A and B are shown apart, each in its own frame.
Chain A
Amino acid sequence: MASARLRFTIPILCTCSLALVFSALLLSQEKGDAQKGKGKGNSLIRPLAELEKDLKGKLERTKVHGKSLEGNLEGDSADRDIFVYLPPSYQREPNRRYPVVYTLHGYGLHAEQWVGFANFASLEKDVAAGTAKEMILVSPDAFSVHNGSFYSNSPTTGDWETFLAVELVGYIDSHYRTLANRASRGLAGHSMGGYGTFRLGMKHPEVFSSLFSMSACCMLDTAEVTPAMAQLEAIKTKEDAAKLPFGQKSPLARAAAWSADPKNPPLFFDLPVKDGKPQPVIAAKWMANSLMVMLEQYAPSLKKMKAIRMNVGLQDGLLQTNRDMDQALAQAGVAHSFETFEGDHNGQVGLNFATKVLPFFSDQLAFSPEVKK
């Protein structure tokens, strides 16, 4: 049997590289926060005000209520910040309708930072250069108690799958002049958002027709009990969790997303470790939420996509797991393209968005209402 073809090894890659990634994100986030307060320049996250000055189109900030997020056990708000970019012609041409690309930010970020991190303003430069077409860009905020929802469906964090694929899409289609069909809807995201991109694409192929995953995380999470993980047993309350250094919080976010436990207040989740011992039942839940593993069940959904593209930096700790996913997609017969680029996890996000992501959707999405499927 050819299980030897599956070249990835389970135990170490995912958790360790995730830690690296999240530490890397910490830097960007701290800079972003500092910048918000003091208005200093930052190479990775453009402040909103600066970005808006560049825009001929309009960036709207709105709040959308998520019925699917109501009653989540950890108490995240069901009213989410949503950024909507409308291209310059939107005001001039009141009958024109546009495709929409939904973009998902990574762990530790807010939507506001993501808009500047991906740099939505680059769309207008692309359009001027003829490498992209005018479209609507949407960015929902998925920051949670433990810094990121993982775009999953959990009683503890809420049903983010339905919120995004059904409620948010419904809201955007009813409040903006969209081309309201799957052929004109794309989904993209970075890191945790790349994970969300694949996950939502798997679960809702009837909503989206093209996917772009940037440096996606969580390809195979075996919930390995590292010393850092074991230390999290001491975290009993939200207050304890808030005091943790940013880089150590992500297992809490994953537990909230993937191993909810309504009988275990006040955090309402189980960790994959208890009294220093690994908890196989919990590890199984984390594995079950890993993309490589979900792929077996959801290959038919992904096969319905018009196009799937994924890329990752050669200096990214997630390089190998993304290569593994590329291979697994190929094995499952899911048409897609995969590329690597010079760079780490965060350094090239803006460039990637401008030169790869936006041109990709300009090629793949339907820009006229005639095209239905």
Chain B
Amino acid sequence: MTRGTRLLTALAAFPLFLPAQNSAPIQGTYTRIRVHGKSLEGNLSGEPADRDVSIYLPPSYQTQGNRRYPVVYLLHGYTNSDVGWFGPESRGSFANGNTMTAAADRAFTSGATAELGTNELILVMPNAYTMYQGSMFSNSVTTGDWEGFIAKDLVAYMDGHYRTIPERASRGLAGHSMGGYGTFRIAAKYPQVFSSIYILSACCLTANLNPNPQGSAAAEALKSPEAAKGAPRGLATLLAEAAAWSPNPGNPPFYFDLPAKDGKVQSAVVAKWVANAPLAMIDQYVTSLKTLRIGMDVGDKDGLSASNRELSRVLNSYGIPTAFEVYDGDHTNHIVDRMEKIVLPFFAKNLSFQAGR
């Protein structure tokens, strides 16, 4: 149980904090805008540098014209997109109207912490769905510099266009699966931008030094990136990871190398993939990670639970305090619940609601 939930439970016991009788609006505002990513310009895949971005402004944003808010940047998982969380194409645990917008409304307008008046957050999620179904939030000449896009371009845009508290202490980063992976790597590289992070069911944590020599055959058979459209998940993942982790500007039309070629493992490519695995890179980023407040969780029936436990263990071995929870669930079935009941309260508790703190 996180401290957030304990707080929730404790406060609920006191009638003093029952819902207030004011007429505050109970719904936030959802908008979808487009933000230009200078960091994404010139990527060799030809991904648009103008990205759709879902923005959730909390209920009081419209009525309290001078109030400024902390911002939580959210990163979705592989094959998903921002509208998979916020609608209209919401899916997985977000389906059937149970969108991130609805979950945020509930989190900010009910429950004990809402009455403290200090838990409303701006939420932002960029669309990282690419031609290979996911950017991997990495830094690649082929896919673009997604780290820079999130940590610099998007943050600057939000601070320039919305009433944010434009400070590290008031900025959070969270994501699920591929987005949990992105959360780790972007926070590790930009600890000056974010102060708290939450990693949900992160993928891609473990380095694979021995890939299947035949594992690239289907990808090798593709003639062009267009032919990859609608590729099955396994193949698409391979393409997305190659584009993100082993780019090669000298190798059109895909502009990446695969970990195996003609049935032989390509050690040089494998080394590059390895270098992008958090469990291989973490020792280099201990100083960054120590400056963050970190929450993470994973479902006990998720195939990724072992690697997430290992990440938590390594963080602990370095004395980096991490709120880690293994809950009853699989890779996707409780994400919206976790967001509402655990993740948003985590940020409400850890982010600063006042400038200059």
A interface residues with partner B (beta carbon < 8 Å): 1-6, 8-11, 68, 152-155, 159, 162, 220, 222, 258-263, 280-281, 283-285, 287-290, 292-294, 296-300, 331-333
How many pairs of A and B residues are in contact by the CB < 8 Å rule?
A: 130
Q: Which residue of A lies closest to B256 (CB)?
A: A1
Across-interface contacts of B248 in A (CB, < 8 A): 2-3, 5, 331
Contact with A along B137-175 (1 / 0, CB 8 A): 011110001001000000000000000000000000000
B283 at interface, CB cutoff 8 A = yes
- Looking at A10, A284, A294, A331, the one whose CB has the most chain B CB atoms below 10 A away is A284
Report whether B141 and A299 are in contact in the complex, using a CB–CB cutoff of 8 Å: yes
In the bound complex, how far is the Cα of B299 from the Cα of A282, in angstroms? 27
Across-interface contacts of B148 in A (CB, < 8 A): 300
Contact among A8, A280, A333 with B249 in the assembled complex (CB-CB below 8 Å) = A333
Report whether A297 and B268 are in contact in the complex, using a CB–CB cutoff of 8 Å: no
Given A153-B284, A281-B279, CB of A10 within 8 Å of CB of B209: no
B214 at interface, CB cutoff 8 A = no
Across-interface contacts of A222 in B (CB, < 8 A): 267, 271
Report whether A155 and B318 are in contact in the complex, using a CB–CB cutoff of 8 Å: yes
Report whether A287 and B266 are in contact in the complex, using a CB–CB cutoff of 8 Å: no
In the bound complex, how far is the Cα of B288 from the Cα of A162, in angstroms? 11
What's the nearest-Cβ distance from chain B to residue A53, in Å?
A: 42
B-side interface mostly? mixed
Across-interface contacts of B258 in A (CB, < 8 A): 1, 3
Report whether A281 and B207 are in contact in the complex, using a CB–CB cutoff of 8 Å: yes
Given A155-B318, A284-B209, A288-B281, CB of A3 within 8 Å of CB of B261: yes
B interface residues with partner A (beta carbon < 8 Å): 39, 138-141, 145, 148, 207, 209-210, 216, 219-220, 245-251, 254, 256-258, 261, 266-269, 271-272, 274-277, 279-281, 283-287, 317-319
Across-interface contacts of B280 in A (CB, < 8 A): 281, 284-285, 287-288
Q: Which residue of A lies closest to B261 (CB)?
A: A3
Report whether B257 and A6 are in contact in the complex, using a CB–CB cutoff of 8 Å: yes
In the bound complex, how far is the Cα of B46 from the Cα of A349, in angstroms? 44
Report whether A155 and B283 are in contact in the complex, using a CB–CB cutoff of 8 Å: yes
Report whether B275 and A290 are in contact in the complex, using a CB–CB cutoff of 8 Å: yes
Q: Which residue of B lies closest to A153 (CB)?
A: B284
Report whether B283 and A154 are in contact in the complex, using a CB–CB cutoff of 8 Å: yes
- Looking at B139, B250, B268, the one whose CB has the most chain A CB atoms below 10 A away is B268
Across-interface contacts of A162 in B (CB, < 8 A): 287
Given A296-B247, A299-B141, CB of A6 within 8 Å of CB of B275: no
Report whether A288 and B274 are in contact in the complex, using a CB–CB cutoff of 8 Å: yes
Q: Which residue of B lies closest to A264 (CB)?
A: B317
Given A155-B283, A284-B277, CB of A296 within 8 Å of CB of B246: yes
In the bound complex, how far is the Cα of B263 from the Cα of A3, in angstroms? 13
Across-interface contacts of A11 in B (CB, < 8 A): 267
What's the nearest-Cβ distance from chain A to residue B43, in Å?
A: 11
Q: Which residue of B lies closest to A283 (CB)?
A: B209
Given A10-B268, A290-B271, CB of A1 within 8 Å of CB of B286: no
In the bound complex, how far is the Cα of B257 from the Cα of A333, in angstroms? 16
| Nearest 3 A/B pairs, CB to CB | A284-B207, A2-B251, A288-B275
Contact among B139, B245, B266 with A3 in the assembled complex (CB-CB below 8 Å) = B266
What's the nearest-Cβ distance from chain B to residue A73, in Å?
A: 10
What's the nearest-Cβ distance from chain A to residue B237, in Å?
A: 17
